Structure 1
Amino acid sequence: MKAIVIISVLFSFAFFTRCAQHPYPEEVRQALELAGPNRGELEKTLEHYRQTGDSLKLKAAFYLIGNMSDKGYFIYTLKDTAGNEVAFNVLDYPDYRTMVAAWDSIAAIRGELDFEKKEFIKDLHVIKSEFLIRNIDLAFEAWQKKPWARFLTFEQFCRYILPYRGSNEPLEDWRSYFYEKYQWLDSAFASSNDVAQIAAAINNDLKSWFKFDDRFYRHPTDQGLKEMLRNKMGRCEDMANLAIFAMRANGLAVTSDYTPYWADAANNHAWNALIDPSGRAIPFMGGLFNPGAYSLPNRIAKVYRKTFEHHKENLIFKVKNRRKIPRWLAGKSYIDVTTQYVPTANVELTLEKERPDSVRFAYLCVFNSGEWKAIHWAEIKEDRAVFTDMGKDLAYLPAYYLDQTIVPAGPPFILQKSGNILKLIPDTASTATLKLISTMKRITTQATDSKKKSFLENGAAYELFFWDGDWQSLGTKEVRQNQPLVFEKAPSNALYWLVKKGSKKYERIFIYRDGEQVWY
């Protein structure tokens, strides 16, 4: 036992002597401090590449470890309003509608159901040196041996090939599995550098066994490879991760782009992007649509790209406390790529509502699933804020974020195709008569939520709202003999929302122009 202790002390002394001679980057040193008892596994990885003398692989290890502090896997638990756990498995039901009906039945008895974070398993605390070394070695093998990967710079390799996870899925060695599974690519594409063609070949195989299933909207976590191989279905995040696993393992620069909230539909969406030799991102949908054959089904306010590395310009590095930042904007590892997808404009606003004390940032929100939800941020300077690269022809609301609540900072507006701003300030002195014949209902298409025009249902009751600092009701009317609903003395220049009684409030907002509803 004494001999073991002495050897351990000598090893540690030798290791830290080398560290003093060759200091690590600051981010790596911080990660080692945060790793706790698992620090030794990270140190073994670094020492392995220091001993082999492979400086590029050592830099790759620095990249992974230095950006690992926020990476891991969340375990969730479903709870009712009393805080009691609720057992619920989405695959116990044959389809989405049946599953939602069962969920609603439980909620009717036990109150509103919601997933709560139970545990966060940090990679820094559990990752093993063997896992990291194998991931790095196989990533380099794909980069250096696959002819279609040689155009990638080291920076591109680190961002689009090297990372060992796609999002917050369980930690698994998917790289070995897919590297072996697609060995046939080497002979099939020996003389080809067409990355889109090679990605399509892999994606065609994924299509043969993995499918989108909207029941997984109520599955709280992103699936790991083992779970996906077992279930053979998932939501869009799972499909995007599956393509990342299969394609990065074989030297294809593939990432996941996403919109936190659709700007003219409910929910959110994640999809894949393939980086070609020119640096252009070609969107596709893992297991569904190949590169060049995919277009997004809804309008976009913002597109962000998941990365492994941290970006110091992100809001979390300015605010620190995640609870003071809207959920989707609190990440360290994402970049804004909206300009790669749609025409954009910068939006400069004077915030008309008084700024609360200590508030330094404002937000632009889109209307999604019956609520205003923050999708971009800007620092406030003398009651003005500039929101960069916003998607056009969309409705937005400027807001503050207080006590985890969106608080309007001014009236909603339309960012027109020209880049001009049309403020929607209701004019109660100049009223109009609205004749309404339709609404927009939620549908599922292309592995995400979308919307479809729906004529008003005979015999159903609808309530019309307009926005004036909050949703104000203009009354409820019932559709009779399939005639339009007529609302008199509605304020002009307003943003409206027509909601069917008893619905989940997924209906879309609109303005009224020239006797017609214009949807946003």
Structure 2
Amino acid sequence: MNNPYACMKMKKYILYFLLGALVSGCGENNPSHVLEDVIKENPQLGEVLKRYEADTLKLRAVEFLIENLPYYCSYEGEQVEHYQKQFELYGTGLYTPGEVQDSIRQMYGRINLRKSTVKPDLELPAGFLIDNIEWAFKVWNEQPWGKNVAFADFCEYILPYRIEDEPLKPWREKIYNAFNPILDSVRALPEAQDPLFVSQVLIDSISRIKFHFTGQFGEGPHIGPDLVDWHSGNCRETADMLIYIFRALGIPCGCDYMPLRGDGNVAHFWNFILDKNGESYYMYETGTLEPVRKYWGIKSKIYRQTFSRNEAVVKDMRKDAEAVYPSFRFPHFIDVTRLYSGKRARKLNIPREKLFHKVSEAEVVYLCSPAWMDWEPIAWAHPGENDVSFDGVEGGVVLQLSVYKYGRLIPVSNPFVLDGSTGGVHYFEGSDEVKEIKLLNKYHQFIEPFAQRMVGGAFEGSNRADFLQKDTLYVVKEAPVRLYSVVRLSNTKPYRYVRYVGPENGYCNVSEVAFYDSPADTCALQGRVIGTPNGQNGDGKHDYRNVYDGDPYTSFDYYQPTGGWAGLDLGRPCLIRKIIFTPRNRDNYVREGDTYELFYSSKGEWISIGEQIPASDSLLYTVPKGALLYLKNHTRGSDERIFEYEEGKQRYW
């Protein structure tokens, strides 16, 4: 969320917002005055209002769109086209993200979105708006489920002509013609009166389309309806693609999001669908629609994107736009945390004595979540006489309070975590006492599946090449937490053939295995590499041979979830007295020879404990007890996350 593009975006919004009262958020907004001011800027829109004078619902819909026009714009120009070209090329399935980026750089140079131009929606031609209104009402009125979509939901989640800041183009008719026939077989069924039923039918069909997922193209403007053809990008693009399809068919659909994942450094977006009763469902990983209260994941706040501006938030902020943190200046969202969390969402109270800066009751205090070494606001409140209270917060997430002044966030509390069970608050304040710690990685391994996929995996020995007679040497019982896990054996039987067999549903995810005939040996046994090949089923980069190439950052990823193995023909029977193995990984373990620096949080600042260059796969530090920590690799990589050290282990938040 906090990036150069977002800053550019907000500045340009302010430049192009021509209605001063709307931009500043001062005072009450009178809808009739808004309409008058917009029409003064674009007289064509007055003709649109006149066109629908005799149709009450369409007139209200037009007014809804026009009242919100000042808050939207498009980013256009060559730089935006080059940015979008990445998604088009990657959507072909012919190139990796890196190859796409290299190709774009060779053709156009580096993408600079600051050079894009802004086209405010206040300049929209009347014909564009009329076409959108007619198609939106057509699908709302003709589809059997339309009669169970309330007008308010229609306005927010079917009617809008855009999602956010994508280049504008007509999209409804093309997408309608492409996807509406999918529902012909169920349209006459009684169940088709429920948008939820037809949504599941549609998802079952769409799920056959391969979506090319990547988060490597950076953050820029929304791509637009071309995503329906390109089907590539990250979770935001996935959500946008489905919004275009569902809205083109008259199904109320939108995007819910976490400003920051509760256990990660980035935002997360996904779709919601409204059923015939207006209840919210989300699309689970398996492609099924589930009630939002069953939503997985660690979270603190969840919001729902709306087309209209949330006037209650604007009024509550009581500040000019420039004095409000950028992501809250133009609040096109509503808080839906309690829809998802139910009773797990608590009222969070932070006593004033826990604030290390004086904060007046007129100020806005932001509840912030961590992203790398920064903090991003996810909610806001005004301080009370005795405390600062935030409604509807789910626990289990590290948070911190800040105020926004002089264009930057100023921390006013130490980090803390809300206990979701008891409602108690634990503060990471550190102490004068210190303790010795051993660090093995810089990012939590359990947000990725690779280490867990080794649990249940087995190392086997045999004197038959087909392993029909074999002995189990060792079974992995816990997910490995370091780059090199060492197993010492008391085995007295020699074997010519040795291998690692992945567990059920583990895809045989392993990066490196080495067998030794003595616990003291430093030279691994050598042999001919054998295993289950991926052949044409794999990507050509994750073959079983990677397991014995001496590189812990290449790996095996078997094309089937079960049945994969990688081994060695040693050429002669050998004793196996030691095994060293590395799980498949994304290079977040401590690397020998890299430069690391450890920090702890104190009074809103990250204090350095010092740099180290490890001679093995671990680091030793002395730190204040109870402190929140952060390990940075100055040599390579970007995945890093806050953690604490307890019971001899790193616990990531």
Give the structure-1-normalised TM-score: 0.80
Q: How far is 1:471 from its partner?
A: 0.8
Cα deviation, 1:116-138, whole Å, max 9, x if unaligned, reads 3744322221232x322232232
Q: How far is 1:411 from its partner?
A: 0.8
Cα deviation, 1:43-91, whole Å, max 9, x if unaligned, reads 11111111xx221221111211122220221348979xxxxxx999646
Q: Does 1:258 align with 2:257?
A: yes
* Contact 1:135 1:175 (8 Å CA) reproduced: yes
Q: How far is 1:163 from its partner?
A: 1.5
Aligned counterpart for 2:426 among listed residues 405, 422, 426: 422
| Cα pair distance change 1:300/1:100, threshold 3 Å | farther
The residue number in structure 2 matching 1:21 is: none
| Cα pair distance change 1:75/1:426, threshold 3 Å | farther
The residue number in structure 2 matching 1:241 is: 240
| Cα pair distance change 1:87/1:35, threshold 3 Å | same
When structure 1 is superposed on structure 2, of 492-501 and 231-240 the one drifting more is 231-240
* Contact 1:364 1:376 (8 Å CA) reproduced: yes
| Cα pair distance change 1:400/1:168, threshold 3 Å | same
In the alignment, structure 2 segments of 5+ residues that lack a partner are 1-28, 450-584
Greater CA radius of gyration, 1 or 2?
2
- Which amino acid in 2 is paired with 1:486? L
Q: How far is 1:366 from its partner?
A: 1.0
When structure 1 is superposed on structure 2, of 185-194 and 91-100 the one drifting more is 91-100
The residue number in structure 2 matching 1:509 is: 642
- Which amino acid in 2 is paired with 1:203? I
The residue number in structure 1 matching 2:610 is: 475
Aligned counterpart for 1:142 among listed residues 139, 143, 150: 139
* Contact 1:178 1:246 (8 Å CA) reproduced: yes
Q: How far is 1:186 from its partner?
A: 3.6
Partner SS, residue 114 of structure 2: strand
* Contact 1:99 1:215 (8 Å CA) reproduced: no
**In 2: Cα distance, 1:241 partner to 1:443 partner:** 28
The residue number in structure 2 matching 1:460 is: 594
Percent sequence identity is: 24
The residue number in structure 2 matching 1:16 is: none
* Contact 2:362 2:382 (8 Å CA) reproduced: no
Cα RMSD, aligned residues only: 3.6
Cα deviation, 1:276-303, whole Å, max 9, x if unaligned, reads 12332211289x9453499877522221
**In 1: Cα distance, 2:434 partner to 2:448 partner:** 38
When structure 1 is superposed on structure 2, of 297-306 and 396-405 the one drifting more is 297-306
Q: How far is 1:405 from its partner?
A: 1.3
Q: Does 1:385 align with 2:378?
A: no
Partner SS, residue 198 of structure 1: helix
* Contact 2:68 2:309 (8 Å CA) reproduced: yes
* Contact 2:139 2:250 (8 Å CA) reproduced: yes
Partner SS, residue 360 of structure 1: coil
Q: Does 1:151 align with 2:285?
A: no
The residue number in structure 1 matching 2:409 is: 406
Q: How does 1:199-218 map to 2 (within 5 A)?
A: 199-209=199-209, 211-214=211-214, 217-218=217-218
When structure 1 is superposed on structure 2, of 467-476 and 207-216 the one drifting more is 207-216
The residue number in structure 1 matching 2:114 is: 116
**In 1: Cα distance, 2:77 partner to 2:366 partner:** 28
Q: Does 1:174 align with 2:174?
A: no
* Contact 2:360 2:383 (8 Å CA) reproduced: no
> Aligned pair count?
472
Partner SS, residue 635 of structure 2: coil
Q: How far is 1:219 from its partner?
A: 5.7
Partner SS, residue 143 of structure 1: helix
* Contact 1:329 1:375 (8 Å CA) reproduced: no
Partner SS, residue 116 of structure 1: helix
Q: How far is 1:251 from its partner?
A: 1.9
Give the structure-2-normalised TM-score: 0.65
- Which amino acid in 2 is paired with 1:431? V
Q: How far is 1:247 from its partner?
A: 0.8
The residue number in structure 2 matching 1:345 is: 346
In the alignment, structure 1 segments of 5+ residues that lack a partner are 1-24, 80-85
- Which amino acid in 2 is paired with 1:463? E
* Contact 1:170 1:224 (8 Å CA) reproduced: yes
* Contact 2:317 2:324 (8 Å CA) reproduced: no
- Which amino acid in 2 is paired with 1:487? Y
Q: How far is 1:398 from its partner?
A: 0.7
